Structure formats: structure tokens, C-alpha cells
Chains A and B, each alone.
Chain A
Amino acid sequence: MKLQFFLNGTDVVWDVRPDEYLSNALRRHGIFSIRVGCDESICGSCTVLVDEKPVLSCSVLAITVNGKHVTTVEGIQEEVARLSHFFGEEGANQCSYCGSGMAIIIHALKKEYKNPTDEQIRDFMVGNICRCTGYHSQFKAIKAYLAEGK
């Protein structure tokens, strides 16, 4: 099937199977920032934005994004670079497998809340699993990142 959508602002047309998931289609086309961790809609490593909302690309059929805007970390590189600085400062990334999914969900958090409470930050992050750090350092990094420029 023909799939036309906007990938990080670029109009693309791909051939996809009716049962192909977005994560697979993206990786098949070289977008390796998409990590498929659990492939069961739980871990959040495959998170992308579809029309500015975070979704789990391992659980969204590629054909359903026809005509929509899909954003991966490649589409928000400046923001990711800034966020990486705070993650580095706090030692919040070790293997970084979860990093791109985290960056996308933090981007969405920042868009949704001007001044998120600690509870709102935790609620947003609950679907993004990290098996290295234990979350405290990431939480501190996110708070510092969100506080920047206030």
C-alpha cells in the first residue's frame, strides 16, 4: 500500500504492508533512532510524535499515519542536544537505548505544560522505561532542562 506522510517535515511516500507497524517502517527506511524494546506497547523506547502527540510507534500501524506529520528525534535535534547536556550533567543516560523515546516524551511534556509539577513530570514519564539509571537522575535532568530560560 502507498503511504504518504510528512517525516520530520519532509513529504515522503513509502510502500508498506497493511499490517506493518510504524516502528518497522521507520527502521526499514533507515530511521534507527527508533528502538523497539518490548514490542508490546509498554517500554516507550519507540515513542514518536504523530501530529505532535506522542505515540508508541511499535503499536501504530504505519498506514494509519497517512497524511499526518511524524516527528522523530531527528526532527528536534537542537532540543535533543540541549536535553542531552542536562542528561550528561546528571549522569542520566548510561546505555541510552531509551534516550530517543525519552527525548520525544519530554518534548511533548514541555509542549503540554508550561510549568509541570513533579507529579505531572512523573505521570508523563511513567511509560518510558530505563533499565540503567533508576529514574532519579533523569528526573533531576528533566527538571533542570525545563527550568532553563525561566
Chain B
Amino acid sequence: MSLRANNYYKATSLDDAYQKLKDNPKNAIIAGGLWMKKTGLSYETLIDLSELHLNEIKVNKDEIHVGALVTLRDFETNPEIKKLNGGATSFGVSEVVGPAFRNTATIGGSIFGRFPFSDVIASLLPLDVTVKLYPEQSYSLEEFLNIKGKVDGILTEIVIKKEEGKGYFHKVKATSLDFAMVNISISKRNNKHYIAVGSRPLVASLARKAMIEADKGDFKEAARLAAEELSYLDSNNISKAYRQDLVKVYVLRGLEEVNK
């Protein structure tokens, strides 16, 4: 299965890309294009943003600005990203297939797709991340994931707040190349805990009740709540109940890890 397209268009500006996108409902922005290929959908025109300098990581005192076309590999190997969340964010992204795949897949494509199985989204969700779109819109990552229906705009960058912290990421998988059965991502910053659970098989969410219990220091109760407060589903390779058991175990391990 492969995507089909009649035309390929290199945008000269964000506005040019957006106008082209609005011209025809069968036009689409292409980033890495890996998931678009798997869908096998037909497009009239694929819109390429590669001339718009969206493949850069810029760092200032408080923030890291990551362009939408930064590849997962460039992201995970960036020295500033490696420092984030005690290395857990970089590690989480490095869990996606192999380096050749990650040299094509992009941060923008991974987030804009809001994929339920995404290790990238799970890795980033416990951090303070802002998603920027053109025309000008700005959402926290959590808000962005909860937008109902199709997002109107072009994802241009994500902005990650630089904060000292400890982190944990664990992807439960049958083999190295599988999608996660569940992924657990935890950050502890300024004595606050942030716990994200993804691949349930629904897009990653923060387990807010569990975070409150973790802040109180009751990690077992936090782990139990994380397995209860979010929605979980059965899938081909794993039952809902087993997923919840995994979450209980790995959230507890993660909380112990970030509190060592």
C-alpha cells in the first residue's frame, strides 16, 4: 500500500503553503510522509515545506524551539534535548523503529498526526510543551491532542520549556520494532510529578489524579489510579486488563526511579 498523488508543490512561504492547503480538500502537507504512505490515501497535491527553514532546533535561555521538520534522529541526538528530563525524552524518541526510520520521520508529523501509538507524543507530554501553528495559534501539547476533529493550520514548531528534572520512559513492546502495548512517561520537576500514559491504545494522556497522589508521596496509590482513571481498550495483541496491570507496574517503577 502506498500513497498516491497527482502533484508535488514546494511552498515558498507558510502563507503560500496554507493557501495551497485550502485550495483543495485533497491537498495535504507532507512532513516525513511515513504514516501517509501507510494510509494508502489519494491526494491531489502534496505540499512540501522543506524550503521554509523548519528543520532547525534553536535554544535560548528558557526554551528549546524545535521546527516541525526536525527529524526524530536530529531531535534525539541534540545535546540540549539529551539534557531534558534526565535524558528520558531523548530515550523515548529513540525507541521509534531504527535510525534510518528516524532520519525521515519528523517531530511535526509525529505530533500533528496525534497517533495513539506515538512514543514521541508520550515522551513529550509530561514536559511543558507548546505547539505552534500557522495561521497563528498556540496550544499546550495536551490541549492540542484534545482538539476535536481536523486541525485547521500548519504545525510550524514546538517550544519546550527548559527545566531541571528527572525523567522515566518505558515502552512495553513484544519486539524492538513493534508499536508499544503501552508507554509510560514520567517527569519530576520542582517537586511536581507529571505522568503520561500512551498507546492504551488511545493517544497519550496525563493521569492527573495519579499525579496528585504522586506529589503526596503515595506512589502505589498513584500507580493504581493511573491504571484506573484513563480509558483503556482491548487490541489484537493485548487485553485491556493486561494493559492496566502493566501501567500499575511501570508507573510505580517510574515514580521510584525519578525519586531515587
Identify the A interface with B (CB < 8 A).
1, 18-19, 21, 39-42, 44, 47, 50, 53-56, 59-61, 63-64, 105, 108, 123-129
Contact = CB atoms under 8 A, between A and B. Distances in A.
Contact of A42 (B4, B32, B43, B97): B97
A48 B57 CA distance: 25
Nearest to B37: A59
User: Chain B interface mostly helix, strand, loop or mixed?
Assistant: mixed
Contacts of A42: 97, 101, 177
A29 to B, nearest CB: 19
Interface centre among A59, A63, A105, A108 (most CB of B within 10 A): A59
Contacts of A59: 32-34, 37, 101, 104
A56 B5 CA distance: 20
Contacts of B98: 44, 105, 124-128
Contacts of A126: 97-98, 176-177
Nearest to B32: A59
B116 to A, nearest CB: 18
B99 A64 contact: no
B33 A61 contact: yes
21 contacts: A18-B5, A18-B46, A19-B3, A19-B4, A39-B2, A41-B101, A47-B100, A53-B73, A53-B103, A54-B103, A55-B103, A56-B101, A59-B32, A59-B33, A64-B48, A123-B99, A124-B98, A125-B98, A126-B98, A127-B177, A128-B100
Contact of B8 (A39, A56, A61): A61
Given A59-B104, A61-B30, A127-B177, A1 B8 contact: yes
B38 A40 contact: yes
Interface in B72-129: 73, 94, 97-101, 103-104
B12 interface: no
B235 interface: no
User: Which 7 A-B pairs rank lowest in CB-CB distance, beginning with the nearest?
Assistant: A127-B98, A18-B8, A54-B100, A19-B5, A53-B103, A126-B176, A126-B98
A105 B129 CA distance: 33
Interface of B: 2-8, 30, 32-34, 37-38, 43, 46, 48, 50, 73, 94, 97-101, 103-104, 176-177
Interface centre among B43, B48, B73, B103 (most CB of A within 10 A): B103
Contacts of B4: 19
A61 B43 CA distance: 14
A39 B1 CA distance: 8
Interface centre among B34, B37, B46, B176 (most CB of A within 10 A): B37
Interface centre among B3, B33, B97, B98 (most CB of A within 10 A): B98
B138 to A, nearest CB: 29
Contacts of B73: 53
B156 to A, nearest CB: 19
A18 B7 contact: yes
Given A18-B46, A19-B3, A54-B99, A63 B8 contact: yes
B193 to A, nearest CB: 29
A19 B30 contact: no
B100 A44 contact: yes
A41 B7 contact: no
B103 A123 contact: no
